[in-house]
Structure 1
């Protein structure tokens, strides 16, 4: 039993190493009165830069998908 668990933990670790870490997927829900559009901005050396926007559905859900080559701060 312990060997089986060790095998699966090792397999998951190896498979996760090959994933592209530069892709991101942000999902969320807005409670209460929700805006029609949500904005994703990056905090850069030049100030706050608008990077993306997405619409909020009737249930308050939104989603951003994208790619970033380097880590950064987003608002």
Structure 2
């Protein structure tokens, strides 16, 4: 029972962390006034990689779908 609970919590927090990372990345990619020039450039580089690298896109899709987390928990 504890193993099942730990896996479920890991999935929920892992997905929440991935969603938080994505939301911050999208918001930080805007103008410099909200995040500053460094965070804006970092977010833009992350978005560029996400949309230009098929392996990065596949890994992100696995994170959002929860499939990567389910494999790690088992």
Larger Rg: 1
TM-score when normalising by structure 1: 0.28
Q: Would you tell me which structure has more helix in proportion to its own residues?
A: 2
Q: Would you tell me which structure has more strand in proportion to its own residues?
A: 1
Q: Which has the higher contact order (CA 8 A, sep 6+)?
A: 2
TM-score when normalising by structure 2: 0.28
